[in-house]
Structures are given as structure tokens and as C-alpha cells.
Structure 1
Amino acid sequence: MSEDFKCLSCDAANYKLLEKAKNEKIETVWDRAEAMQPQCGFGEMGLCCTNCSMGPCRIVKVSEDGPKKGICGADEDTIAARNLARAVAAGSSAHSDHGRDIAHALYHAAKNPESGYKIKNSEKLVSLAKEWGIETENMDIKDIAAKVAEVALQEFGKPFGHLRFAERAPKGRLDIWDKMNVRPRAIDRDIVEVLHSTHIGCDADYRNIMTAATRAALSDGWGGSMIGTELSDILFGVPEPHEIEANLGVLKENEVNIVIHGHEPTLSEAILVAVN
């Protein structure tokens, strides 16, 4: 039985469920992938564009015949760059919103005792406050937390300057970023610039587009992602290794099973507090 599914998953815990799904005719991701074959060759090469209402357009690479530019005049480099840049913007948005939510949670922990969240690592909070130039002397820890959360939230849309956490990068790396004009400025700003520049009638130079995409990616890594990591440590404590049970075997037939998808910890931590 399990031999039939080894090509689908390297996790033996999945085999019985895959057999059950097959017997009960429950569609899985592998079924949908098989039904989708062959996938669009234009899309696989990044040469299909659906960014405006004049499309969709595609570039033909396999022969001399067929269009070499989209209706707007975009060539293969522009189309591929736009597609990749928009994917970067979407990924940076999702990842950075994780950080935004953690910053909101820290603010509520500081301002609202009934929020259910507590500050578990005040030492790291004070250290981060000092790094950001926030006054800590003779201040209540909750006031420091509220100010740190406010400054973190300002990193998403501030109109001037660069991201504070980018200063953590080595000087040589900062020099390269500045030379390439990709030092991250503000998280939302850099993402919006990608979407703006790839819109119809805007930037068609693939080099400019990829510069904006690189900056948006760095705004995630040195902005939203790092904010989420640092503030999570402050709220929930620095992670430590624990021995636990995992995988499908933890599900109990006679109990309510709550499955949380994703790694944003505000909800899962609240559930852990409730069950303990």
C-alpha cells in the first residue's frame, strides 16, 4: 500500500491518509497537479502577462514566428521582470504583515492589561529601545513597550530615511546597497513602488523594475520579517529547544483538534495560554 504513495511524499505518516483519500475519492493537491498537465509553457518561462486589461499577452520563444512584444510594447525581459517583481511584492506584503501584527500585539500588551498578552522578555525590549534611540531611563516597562511598538509600526510607512534595522548590516553590505540604490526605506513604500512601476503605462525598463523588486525584498528581510522576529522574542520569550510530539499522530480521535496554519504566533500563543 505505502509503496503506491512513496513518490508523492517522503513522510510515512501521510500514506494511510493518502490511501483513505483515494478510496473515498477525495481530491488532493497531487490529483490537481496531475490534472493540470501539461502546464502552460508561456507561464513556466515567465512570458505570459496578465497585468492589464489589454492582455493576456505572451511572448513566443520557440520559433521566429509569433509575437515578440506584448500589446503595450513590453518585451520578454520586461514581462519576466514585471511578473517576478509582483511576486516579490506579494511575498513581502504577506511576510511583513506578520511583523505588523506582532507590533500591534505588543502595543496592546502595553496599553491593555485585558489583551491577554504579556511582555516576557523585558531585557530584550530595553535593548531594542536603546538601539532605536528610545528613552528608557526611569520609564515603566509598558511605556517602553508602547513606544517601541509605535516606532516599529512607523517603519512600515515613514516618508523619509531608511529602515532602522538595515543599520545592522555590515558597512560593506550597506555600501553595496547604496551603490545599487536598493537600501530599504519603508516597508509599505517599497512594496507600493513595485506595484506602481509594473502597472500599465509605467516603467518598462527591466533593470529599474528589478531594482525596485530587490529593495522590496530587502524591506521584508530587514523590515517586516526582522520586526516580527524581534518583537516575538519580546512578547513570547526567546525560543528554546523542546522535545515534543509532532505530525499526524498528535491528533486525537476523542478530542477537539485545533489546527493552526502558518507561523504567526499571536493566535497560537493565546491558545496555548488558554489550554495550560
Structure 2
Amino acid sequence: MSVLLSARDLRLAFGGLKAADGIDLDVEGGEFLAIIGPNGAGKTTFINMTTGYLKPQGGSIRFDGQPILGLSPRRIVALGIARSFQLPQLFTEHTVLQNVALAVAAREGRLSLMAPLLRRAFRDEAAELIGRFGLSGVAEARADALNEGTRKLVDIAMAVALRPRLIMMDEPTSGVAASEKMAIVETLVRVLRGAGVTAVFVEHDMDVVGRFADRVAVWGQGRIAALGPPREILNDPEVQRTVIGIVPAGGVHAPA
């Protein structure tokens, strides 16, 4: 696989707190890379720098060989990087279908809120994408009436509507009932792999990481403390010791 995203020596400090202290990371095309680590380790900061919401004080970021440091979030989306948020960013007064149609319209440069609601092509594409996510049954439901797991899927469906090559997901299972987590992740992985989308996701559920990640990057104090396949990383004694409250003391046995 070829490198799709490359970060080199990323540095960013907030006062005396080093949120990024020399981050070097390559993301390979087609992989699912999980980022784990304690709160405050700099995981979301990395996503924000990659997607243009924060500008690092040093270092470089390249996407498919092209420098993207300093570009606006909208420009980065246009190049092929989308993101979802820990708290879903939905138009709560609109239906699921309307939310995804809005994302389709934004991709096409139609930013008026009425355009996607009136154009059949936008609605048809949104309906097809909703079907892939298993959301057809709630297509006409308002976003504010959905449970957290469904809201997460809609948020990611809106990101996929932008037709990205890479999607950055910040805690896709945060706030989701334990009984729903695996089914939700199975759905999004199926859709993303089917569309050929590379994924980087911040995650605190080690069962999810062990089952779905191709590689795992461990963040600690603004640095990458470990990087490798799930079985190796999640059963590493040092990772188990330092990622306090995330990895059980007995280890997590990732699927072979």
C-alpha cells in the first residue's frame, strides 16, 4: 500500500502543554488506523491539525504528496479528507434524508439550505447512501429524535457523502450504548471499505480497536509511544501500564 497521509515533526503547544511534540506518522491507503491513549494525550489535536481546524507551530502534513498545512477545512475537504466529530454535527430540525442531502449539495458547491431539499438528484443520492448505512427506516425522522448510535451513523454518512479518500473519525462510539457499538462499527467499516475509503479513528473501546483496526497508534503526552498491529500493541505490557483506564490489566487479545 502507498502512503496517503504523511505527518512529519508536528508540534503544537497550548501554553506549557505540548499537544503535539514531534509527531511522525504515515497513513497507508486502504487501512483502518486506530489512535488510542489517555485523555489529553493529543489525539483530537492531531485530527484537528490534519483537517485544518488547528495549525501546528511546526512540521508538515502531506495528503497524497501534496502539502496541506495552512489550508482551510473546506479546501482540505475538497482535496479528499472528511471528518466526523465526537458530538455529531447535524441539522437537528431536519430529517436524516435532508441532512445527508445537504452534505451532497455542499460537495457540489450548492450551499443554499433549500437547494438539496428541492433537487431530486441530491435526495436520490442521499437515499442511496442512507440505504448503505442501514438507515432507510429513519430517513424521514428528524435528527433530534434519533438515539446517539444512529446520530453517529448519520454524521459519518454525511462525511461519506463528500466522497472522501480519507475520513478522520473522533470517537465514533462515544456515547453509544455498549449493546450497539459492534453493530454500528461493523456497518461503518463495511460501508467505508466498500467505498475504498481509508480511515483514522480515535477510540477508547479496546474491543472495537482489536476487532476492526489494521494498525494501532498509541498517543502519550503529544507523542506516538507505540505503533503496530492490534495484537502486538494491545498486549504490550508497557501500553497496558501507561494507557491507564483504557486497556485492562490482563490485556486485550485482538483477533488473529
Larger radius of gyration: 1
User: So what's the TM-score if we normalise by structure 2?
Assistant: 0.29
Structure with the largest fraction of strand: 2
Structure with the largest fraction of helix: 1
Q: Which has the higher contact order (CA 8 A, sep 6+)?
A: 2
